[in-house]
Structure 1
């Protein structure tokens, strides 16, 4: 359960935040949310603040704009003492092209660390591309992996830009539609070898360390152990999941959402590779894009988030925001990620200071006061997220690999599935509530343990809390079936927990 943060923009004030401020003001919030892993962005030194930390100049230096190295070490120690693992973004896919601060022309040549000629430049990113065939480059990058583990006691890495590393064309504007695309001359075998070496070194040094691959191409074997012929990452991001949510929310009316396709997109993964799902990360928050909550509510967020304001757009947006996040977590393979502030529906986009915005920090911060204000609705989304995360931990949801689709009906916009012994019920229909919706379920008695429509989550309170449901044995279709009957309000998600086994015969007293 990963909470993705950027120290510089984690504070409320319009400025660059520090490691020290993060320890005092933000870390307690992360702990209270219930996530168990902190993912630090922009740790390695980078000359341009607006690069989100992805244009690295000094691979062995913690960014000084956030404070001294000792403060970063204290941040990591404090997180560890609270039971959080700490991983960082590791940028080994490219290097800043700057020649004053960076490695480019470090010895007077363009090819000491990088490919010579056009292949040494990533034109889309305006950066330099490492030559992974050079032993000196391998030593440099591998020692960098060990440095962060040894010196800062980090617990692992999210390897950024893996797709760019894997292919000589960086995978740009390419649709990977066949397995042939993964095994042709476009694959950079030297980069693939480096990634396997990096994973071996990291796990030899720290067997409990976590490595995550950010790959959009779907290259098979990335998260397969080296001993089984894979590259050795522990996890890979399920990057098709957030893309699908954006397409649905942006381009498809609610009444046209296809439940079968949604289920496919949420669960489409290789069973031999561990995956981490998310509804959105920092990528969707950048200027020029929109977060899910902002796409759902848009400008009404500025005027209608007060408690008691019965705005239809806000009600729809909050209901879907809760459902989208719950179904993404409940169907995730082995992990779940959230970008800071998105758990409570942080408004606006992320826009770092630049000439185009008069070097303003207004959108390079997190407005925590919104979730603290009891007169605003953000608190409801935060409370739901906290309870959703708690439920996943209490029932070891992500440790249960088996997910069984119980029922799906696209016209009714219903998805019901079972995981870790729990029944997850979703009614995505924008208009229809179902007073007596019946579906097959394992026989027994069930208690409702989560209801997205509850008033404490900003819902309409259409269901009694802690209600129980009994299966009925039905033979009306010519065969015996155990049925649950439930009231399913529109745009509502429920979670039922079995409390006893057995069944009741329909019509018997």
Structure 2
């Protein structure tokens, strides 16, 4: 006897939007929802399985029996099965038993489940995302925090290894316990945002969360949905934004997941040239299928709405956009124009960006992890762009790390690796990433990418950070890099926080903290970070000395900083051309003793009213070895007074 009663949450309009690929809040309809049917409390289930012969709900409430609770197929050809089961409540374990046309019974977890078990063949849990938020002030003003004219300094975090409780590799901290440690740390360090590596449910720890099975479920490794919401709430209450890694590029072939969900290629593309990822041995979404587009865009909306995420960093965009990504000749099929662009994936990303920005406006931000030169990623869709808010500046990252790996004696031969980014840095809205990908798989930690003895390694890394924080664009730094983690990142254990008892590590951490606060406090470093008004080379071609000099400018004409990088391990008296009437003072020195530098104090001396390097006058400085120096233009009092008078009028 079937114990399922007829019930629906879908309207005809819902079905129409779903089939058209335009339903962006499917989480309000699909999945398991606690409802009251005619005074009887229970759970409504709905699942998309258009090729199934029969769909049953199995779980701990019926001894996993596929005969007693059979869902009803909708009459409208949508492929949706649904029904109401009385007496069930939150915490119930369940799966869908799906009979395929061949008679095979597949036991699948719910694609829209809000919680999953923690095991390989995990079942879904009837759950809720109800939470009493207290971040109204943040949400009201966050458009200012996510603005392209605002400082954006991101701390990238893997929640399972930022800090651990004890030595047990499975002894994770709860989201709430993480909040107690993480929130004050990030606030003190001055980061404006955190970016969490995927928090969606995933079965395999070594995937770091990028092989997702439960796209709508916060991983239960660290607690409940409400526990994660508490962590995000606490970050917001301390003026810290939250960016989530989002993975619409692929999914694993786990038996309880999306793969061959109803016995057919439902979520994945059936052509392996488009539907199978050879590197990750995973399956690629069918971006041309409307119901799949609705699933994915609804998922993005879900994390932005229900979890109050402030942005999504979209993983592996390069693999989505290129049909020949990681494929040899003959292993991919050109598009209808003969090119290698996946037109369906591009259209999906355009629709995703259009939808989320329409819903949330500029209060959120989308960021593409994209390593090719694919054009117009951060340009508006209505202008032919893909519509992202930002793109990771992978070229800058590779050139910069390659340069700092070079022995100083050879740096003159690689000088323009640090200037080349200025040729394209306004083509897109860039975020400069020193991410987790650069400190794993034998690549060495950042501190051990630097050359020389211990002193030179730390001096180089301090100078690299000065370069990064004073370069146009948003910033991203992976956890541990702020204090010079010496070992490669190991996802099975905590960061080596004990290193902070050593002055070299503590000094580096202090430097990153001061750079963060300077970046946030001084508009010249962020107001024009995505346009040509904010940057000017003063000296870009001094190969022999390995010295770089550039200006960063705010919107006020007297809001100017000069950055000088000395990338050889020796002190140097250096002459720089400047404009007439300018007066400069040293405000930052990476070689300062408080950063465990050598303590050489740079000072401005020997000002000349003679033309030098195309400028009407010059100044000289003594530059510390392997150091980044920042000078500030002293404000013109007459100009400032004039502005005040004009404003009063």
SS at match of 1:483: strand
One of 456, 459, 480 as aligned partner of 1:341: 480
Tell me, yes or no, if structure 1 residue 440 matches structure 2 residue 597. no
Aligned to 2:374: 219
Aligned to 1:331: 471
Aligned to 1:419: 552
CA pair 480-165 structure 1, distance change in 2 beyond 3 A = closer
One of 512, 536, 550 as aligned partner of 1:404: 536
Tell me, yes or no, if structure 1 residue 378 matches structure 2 residue 505. yes
CA pair 184-239 structure 1, distance change in 2 beyond 3 A = farther
Q: What is the alpha-carbon distance in structure 2 between the residues aligned to residue 204 and residue 161 of structure 1?
A: 24
User: For the Cα contact (< 8 Å) 1:318–1:381, is it kept in 2?
Assistant: yes
Aligned to 1:45: 201
User: For the Cα contact (< 8 Å) 2:535–2:551, is it kept in 1?
Assistant: yes
Question: Is the deviation greater in 388-397 or in 414-423?
Answer: 388-397
Q: What is the alpha-carbon distance in structure 2 between the residues aligned to residue 395 and residue 25 of structure 1?
A: 28
Aligned to 2:490: 351
Aligned to 1:453: 591
Within-5 A mapping of 1:93-172: 93-100=249-256, 102-109=257-264, 111-119=265-273, 120-170=275-325
Aligned to 1:320: 460
One of 594, 606, 610 as aligned partner of 1:474: 610
Aligned to 2:623: 488
Q: What is the alpha-carbon distance in structure 1 between the residues aligned to residue 197 and residue 219 of structure 2?
A: 11
User: For the Cα contact (< 8 Å) 2:604–2:622, is it kept in 1?
Assistant: no
SS at match of 2:160: helix
Give the drift of 1:185: 2.2
User: For the Cα contact (< 8 Å) 1:445–1:469, is it kept in 2?
Assistant: no
Aligned to 2:162: 10
Give the drift of 1:500: 4.3
Give the drift of 1:296: 2.5
Q: What is the alpha-carbon distance in structure 1 between the residues aligned to residue 636 and residue 629 of structure 2?
A: 20
Tell me, yes or no, if structure 1 residue 497 matches structure 2 residue 632. yes
Q: What is the alpha-carbon distance in structure 2 between the residues aligned to residue 114 and residue 403 of structure 1?
A: 45
Aligned to 1:302: none
Tell me, yes or no, if structure 1 residue 462 matches structure 2 residue 462. no
User: For the Cα contact (< 8 Å) 2:447–2:486, is it kept in 1?
Assistant: yes
Aligned to 2:408: 254
Tell me, yes or no, if structure 1 residue 189 matches structure 2 residue 343. yes
SS at match of 2:259: coil
Give the drift of 1:95: 0.7
Aligned to 1:309: none
Q: What is the alpha-carbon distance in structure 2 between the residues aligned to residue 173 and residue 52 of structure 1?
A: 27
Q: What is the alpha-carbon distance in structure 2 between the residues aligned to residue 42 and residue 376 of structure 1?
A: 33
Q: Per-residue displacement from partner, 1:169-212 (whole Å, max 9, x unpaired)?
A: 225689xxxxx99x852111000000011001111111111000
Q: What is the alpha-carbon distance in structure 2 between the residues aligned to residue 475 and residue 244 of structure 1?
A: 33
Q: Per-residue displacement from partner, 1:226-270 (whole Å, max 9, x unpaired)?
A: 1222111000010112212332344x3222124641233332425
CA RMSD, aligned part only? Answer: 2.3
Give the drift of 1:53: 0.7
SS at match of 2:215: strand
CA pair 220-386 structure 1, distance change in 2 beyond 3 A = same
CA pair 473-184 structure 1, distance change in 2 beyond 3 A = farther
Larger Rg: 2
Give the drift of 1:86: 0.7
User: For the Cα contact (< 8 Å) 1:322–1:452, is it kept in 2?
Assistant: yes
Which runs of no fewer than 5 residues in structure 2 stay unpaired? 1-152, 554-559, 638-649
Which runs of no fewer than 5 residues in structure 1 stay unpaired? 175-179, 298-311, 353-360, 503-509
Give the drift of 1:272: 4.4
Within-5 A mapping of 1:48-59: 48-59=204-215
User: For the Cα contact (< 8 Å) 1:57–1:96, is it kept in 2?
Assistant: yes
SS at match of 2:526: helix
Question: Is the deviation greater in 397-406 or in 15-24?
Answer: 15-24
CA pair 342-321 structure 1, distance change in 2 beyond 3 A = same
SS at match of 1:152: coil
- Higher relative contact order by CA 8 Å / sep ≥ 6: 1 or 2? 1
Give the drift of 1:376: 3.5
TM-score with structure 2 setting the length: 0.68
CA pair 139-67 structure 1, distance change in 2 beyond 3 A = same
CA pair 89-476 structure 1, distance change in 2 beyond 3 A = closer
Q: Per-residue displacement from partner, 1:348-405 (whole Å, max 9, x unpaired)?
A: 01234xxxxxxxx3xx32122322x2x4421100011111111111112122232111
Q: What is the alpha-carbon distance in structure 2 between the residues aligned to residue 368 and residue 463 of structure 1?
A: 30
Q: What is the alpha-carbon distance in structure 1 between the residues aligned to residue 498 and residue 618 of structure 2?
A: 46
TM-score with structure 1 setting the length: 0.86
Q: What is the alpha-carbon distance in structure 2 between the residues aligned to residue 145 and residue 313 of structure 1?
A: 46
SS at match of 1:338: strand
SS at match of 1:448: strand
Q: What is the alpha-carbon distance in structure 1 between the residues aligned to residue 630 and residue 251 of structure 2?
A: 46
One of 231, 234, 254 as aligned partner of 2:389: 234
In proportion to residue count, which structure has more helix? 1
CA pair 6-268 structure 1, distance change in 2 beyond 3 A = farther
Within-5 A mapping of 1:194-205: 194-205=348-359
User: Paired residues, what number?
Assistant: 460
